């Protein structure tokens, strides 16, 4: 019944002849897609912009948690501790490599060699010459060395192994294969693993554990975890296994009641990192695991995104309704009326529109109907609104919402707890201590090399200086200077220190207060000589030591000039920030310098109060943006910025989509349709360039143009012209039959006889080739199909 009805309905029959594609074409698709996207952004804004998390809306209670920044700081602190342990464990290895170039092993007497090394390196607890083939100690100096730990191991290059010492700090066994006359023997050194007993925070019950790859506990320092604390024991076991596999990270357990303070709840935080160093055989076979207990902080359930989400929902619905009423519905009505006129239904007037782009077409189609039906056109309806203005208004509403959210929720400041500030200050203090130890160890290395250089000529020190410059990455240049400061022998890069007499004794100095690069050096006088050994520190490497604190960390001198910075900087640029200057002054006075501003955490620590590093009079100052901390308010702020950005993108996309797909095609069709309605340009073909509602309107305009040119018989069907749209259209006159010429019998006298035109003989038509029909003269370049 439906098919039979469509056959009788000319409008339905014509509609079936004009194809219209589906998504993403169509005048309704842009508004519908934009509305769906805005609904998704509304849901994101309502659920994600909350301090309790998106699942709390479903009834899930937000558990009290340790702040993310505290957890991340434990990971960084443990990684820095593991690196410090690796540096301490390989200190003797670097000293041995330097000693091999000093010529000390040229002496054939093993006892004399060990005595010389013991005097040079007083930190070595024991030194032996060991024959692994015979399993025999050939010479010894100092404390006994546990060489049995090397039995069964193939030592082909420098090897470092930590061993446990009952009731004390672990020892490090360093074995170096000897060459020359001592080939096949090992020089084994025993040193204390420094950094295995750091200062721990008793308030958080901190514990440091050093474990081997098989899970054996090598050393423990701090508050022990109870055996019946299954949560902590499970976390420690998992952390040890992960660190043995070369991984680093942090685990957090469930919170429980604090035994000391029953009114608060604490959660165990276990951080782990492998203790590894380059230049030694394999890994050091150690993993650093730290256990801490931090008080959990309740997460207040706040929903600052509900009001913006409601506002966006209202704007989305209002924009969708406005686009449908002002743009989509008038186009659909125009399409229906244009189909009716093109199908030959001329008794219904074309409905007019107040939208300017649609109104031009409705007036044109109404004129087609009036001309074809020989009726008076309907009265004009004056438009007052542009389609482009409508889509611009909707886009501006969405952009206004984006700006408002970005300016409010996107710029709010997060609240920082006192424990977070305290923890950041502890990290800065640990970083300052790490830098101090690095400078002091560099000075100690120079002193040892200076002792080995006694009674040697400058040209005999090249190998030892070269090994010191290459094995100790803290130095950029190592050289021997005379009494006036002139270079005698150098290893590494070119020195930056200006020639000049060096101070007496040994120590650390800052050479300049202006220039392109800060020059910081350590110096030590060579015994029984006027020469001085100088090592210039590598400032970028010095800055890399500061990265463990987090944020931007700087080292400033007594004039508040920048010496090192973890970010890009100009050397000796003076700090002018009042907050930083205030904390630097407080740190110099020996007080705690920690402060929270609206946007940053600030902490400062004096480098050293005594010792050689105190002569530098440096201060380590650090600042970390609160926006980089993992607090709930930062999550809300980040989510607000994302929502604002997505909404702005949807607004611009909706404007461009409607403009390019709806408004501009309507204007192009109107440019062709209006002249046709005025009787101008009837020969210009209107091409439907789109397979959607606007393309259907273009097809109907073309049908009406053909009907106005050739008569009403053209209505009701689509005739698609052949050729390209750029071909010129020309109308040719119809060729009429010529009158027959009179015969010679009736020709008037005096008429001139024209020669008879001879036509070529017609080719006989073969039976298997059907005769072609004669061509008809039609529009040039436009053959109807």
CB atoms within 10 A of CB 590: 9
Contact yes or no for 405/644 (Cβ under 8 A): yes
- Per-residue pLDDT at 49: 82
**How confident is residue 756, by pLDDT bands cut at 50, 70 and 90?**
low
User: What is the C-alpha to C-alpha distance for residues 405 and 138, in angstroms, rounded to an integer?
Assistant: 78
- Per-residue pLDDT at 453: 83
Question: Of the ranges 89-93, 170-174, 360-364, 512-516, which one carries the lowest mean pLDDT score?
Answer: 89-93
- Per-residue pLDDT at 174: 86
Does the pLDDT of residue 403 top 90, yes or no?
A: yes
Q: Which of 167, 159, 160, 165 is nearest to 143 (CA)?
A: 165
**How confident is residue 731, by pLDDT bands cut at 50, 70 and 90?**
low
> pLDDT by residue (tens digit) across 655-695?
999 999 999 999 999 898 888 888 887 767 787 877 888 88
> pLDDT by residue (tens digit) across 578-589?
999 999 999 999
- Per-residue pLDDT at 151: 65
User: What is the C-alpha to C-alpha distance for residues 653 and 659, in angstroms, rounded to an integer?
Assistant: 10
Question: Which tokens belong to 405?
Answer: 């959210």
Contacts of 12 (CB under 8 A, 6+ apart): 5, 6
Contact yes or no for 124/133 (Cβ under 8 A): no
- Per-residue pLDDT at 784: 41
Contact yes or no for 142/126 (Cβ under 8 A): yes
Does the pLDDT of residue 215 top 90, yes or no?
A: no
In DSSP terms, 294 is beta-bridged to 267
- Per-residue pLDDT at 32: 94
Contact yes or no for 267/252 (Cβ under 8 A): yes
Interior/surface letters 498-526, b for 16+ CB within 10 angstroms, e for the rest: eeeebeeebbbbbeeeeeeebbbbbbbbb
**How confident is residue 551, by pLDDT bands cut at 50, 70 and 90?**
confident
User: What is the C-alpha to C-alpha distance for residues 510 and 491, in angstroms, rounded to an integer?
Assistant: 20
> pLDDT by residue (tens digit) across 173-201?
888 888 888 888 888 899 888 877 777 77
- Per-residue pLDDT at 536: 93
Please give the average per-residue pLDDT across 754-781, as a whole number.
Answer: 48
> pLDDT by residue (tens digit) across 245-266?
888 889 988 887 777 777 778 8
Q: Which of 643, 657, 57 is nearest to 311 (CA)?
A: 643
> pLDDT by residue (tens digit) across 48-68?
887 665 555 444 445 566 777
In DSSP terms, 521 is beta-bridged to 509, 536
Contacts of 239 (CB under 8 A, 6+ apart): 251, 270, 271, 272, 289
Instruction: Say which DSSP state 730 is in.
Output: B
What integer best gives the mean pLDDT of the chain? 81
| Residue of higher predicted confidence among 86 and 644 | 644
- Per-residue pLDDT at 97: 77
- Per-residue pLDDT at 37: 96
> pLDDT by residue (tens digit) across 512-530?
999 889 999 999 998 888 8
> pLDDT by residue (tens digit) across 141-170?
888 888 887 765 666 777 888 888 777 788
- Per-residue pLDDT at 499: 85
Please give the average per-residue pLDDT across 401-429, as a whole number.
Answer: 84
Residue appearing with tokens 């082909």: 156
In DSSP terms, 214 is beta-bridged to none
Does the pLDDT of residue 602 top 80, yes or no?
A: yes
Does the pLDDT of residue 651 top 90, yes or no?
A: yes
Does the pLDDT of residue 395 top 90, yes or no?
A: yes
Contact yes or no for 514/586 (Cβ under 8 A): no
> pLDDT by residue (tens digit) across 688-730?
877 888 888 888 988 888 888 888 877 876 655 555 556 665 5
Question: Of the ranges 218-222, 267-271, 329-333, 702-706, which one carries the lowest mean pLDDT score?
Answer: 218-222
**How confident is residue 468, by pLDDT bands cut at 50, 70 and 90?**
confident
- Per-residue pLDDT at 316: 96
* Domains of the chain, CATH where assigned: 2-44+307-407+647-714 (no CATH), 63-296 (no CATH), 418-628 (3.30.450.20)
Taking CA 763 as the corner, what is the angle to CA 760 and CA 765, rounded to the nearest 5 degrees? 155
Please give the average per-residue pLDDT across 302-314, as a whole number.
Answer: 89
């Amino acid at each position: 019944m439906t098919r039979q009805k469509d056959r009788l309905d000319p409008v339905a029959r014509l509609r079936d002849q004009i194809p219209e594609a589906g998504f993403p074409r169509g005048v309704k698709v842009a508004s519908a897609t934009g509305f769906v996207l805005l609904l998704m952004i509304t849901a994101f804004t309502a659920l994600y912009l909350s301090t309790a998390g998106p699942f709390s809306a479903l009834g899930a209670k937000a558990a009290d948690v340790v702040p993310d920044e505290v957890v991340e700081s434990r990971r960084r602190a443990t990684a820095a501790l593991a690196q410090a342990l690796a540096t301490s464990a390989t200190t003797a290895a670097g000293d041995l490599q330097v000693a091999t170039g000093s010529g000390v092993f040229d002496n054939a007497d093993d006892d004399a060699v060990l005595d010389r090394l013991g005097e040079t390196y007083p930190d070595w607890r024991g030194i032996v010459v060991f024959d692994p083939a015979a399993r025999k100690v050939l010479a010894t100096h100092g404390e006994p060395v546990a060489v049995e730990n090397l039995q069964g191991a193939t030592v082909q290059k420098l090897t470092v192994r930590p061993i446990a010492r009952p009731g004390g700090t672990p020892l490090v066994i360093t074995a170096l294969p000897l060459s020359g006359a001592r080939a096949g023997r090992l020089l084994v050194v025993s040193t204390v693993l420094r950094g295995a007993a750091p200062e721990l925070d008793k308030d958080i019950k901190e514990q440091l554990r050093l474990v081997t790859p098989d899970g054996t506990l090598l050393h423990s320092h701090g508050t022990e975890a109870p055996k019946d604390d299954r949560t902590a024991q499970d976390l420690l076991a998992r952390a040890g296994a992960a660190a043995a596999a070369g991984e680093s990270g942090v685990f957090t357990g469930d919170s429980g009641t604090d035994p000391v303070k029953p009114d608060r709840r604490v959660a165990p935080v276990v951080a782990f990192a492998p203790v590894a160093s380059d230049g030694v055989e394999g890994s050091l076979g150690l993993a650093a695991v730290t256990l801490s207990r931090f008080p959990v902080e309740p997460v207040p359930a706040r929903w600052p995104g509900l009001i913006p989400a409601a506002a966006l929902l209202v704007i989305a619905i209002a924009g969708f309704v406005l686009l449908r009423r002002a743009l989509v519905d008038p186009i659909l009505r125009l399409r229906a009326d244009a189909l009716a006129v093109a199908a030959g239904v001329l008794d219904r007037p074309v409905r007019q529109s107040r939208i300017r782009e649609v109104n031009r077409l409705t007036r044109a189609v109404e004129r087609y109907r009036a001309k074809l039906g020989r009726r008076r056109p309907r009265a004009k309806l004056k438009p007052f609104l542009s389609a482009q203005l409508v889509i611009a208004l909707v886009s501006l509403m969405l952009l206004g919402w984006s700006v408002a959210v970005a300016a409010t929720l996107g710029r709010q400041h997060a609240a920082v707890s006192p424990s977070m500030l305290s923890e950041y200050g502890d990290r800065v203090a640990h970083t300052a201590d790490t830098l101090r130890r690095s400078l002091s160890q560099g000075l100690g290395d120079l002193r040892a090399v200076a002792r080995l250089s006694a009674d040697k000529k400058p040209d005999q020190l090249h190998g030892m200086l070269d090994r010191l410059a290459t094995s100790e990455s803290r130095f950029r240049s190592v050289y021997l200077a005379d009494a006036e400061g002139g270079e005698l022998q150098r290893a590494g890069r070119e020195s930056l220190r200006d020639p000049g007499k060096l101070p007496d004794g040994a120590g650390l100095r800052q050479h300049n207060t202006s220039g392109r690069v800060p020059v910081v050096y350590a110096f030590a006088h060579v015994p029984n000589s006027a020469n001085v050994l100088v090592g210039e520190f590598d400032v970028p490497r010095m800055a890399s030591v500061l990265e463990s604190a987090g944020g931007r960390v700087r080292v400033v001198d007594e004039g508040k000039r920048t010496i090192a910075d973890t970010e890009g900087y100009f050397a000796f640029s003076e700090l002018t920030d009042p907050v930083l200057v205030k904390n630097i002054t407080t740190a110099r006075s020996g007080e705690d310098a920690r402060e929270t501003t609206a946007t940053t955490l600030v902490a400062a620590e004096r480098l050293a109060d005594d010792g050689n590093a105190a002569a530098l009079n440096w201060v380590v100052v650090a600042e970390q943006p609160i926006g980089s901390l993992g607090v709930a308010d930062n999550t809300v702020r980040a989510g607000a910025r994302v929502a604002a950005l997505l909404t702005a993108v949807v607004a611009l996309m909706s404007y461009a989509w409607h403009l390019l797909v709806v408004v501009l095609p309507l204007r192009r069709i109107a440019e062709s349709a209006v002249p046709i309605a005025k009787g101008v340009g009837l020969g210009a073909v209107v091409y439907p360039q789109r397979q959607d509602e606007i393309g259907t309107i273009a097809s109907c305009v073309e049908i009406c143009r053909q009907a106005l040119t050739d008569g009403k018989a053209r209505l009701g069907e689509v005739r698609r012209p052949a050729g390209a749209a750029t071909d010129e259209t020309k109308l040719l006159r119809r060729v009429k039959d010529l009158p027959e010429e009179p015969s010679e019998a009736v020709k008037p006298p005096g008429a001139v006889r024209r020669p008879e035109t001879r036509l070529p003989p017609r080719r006989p038509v073969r039976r298997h080739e059907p005769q072609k029909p004669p061509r008809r003269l039609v529009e040039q370049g436009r053959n109807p199909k």
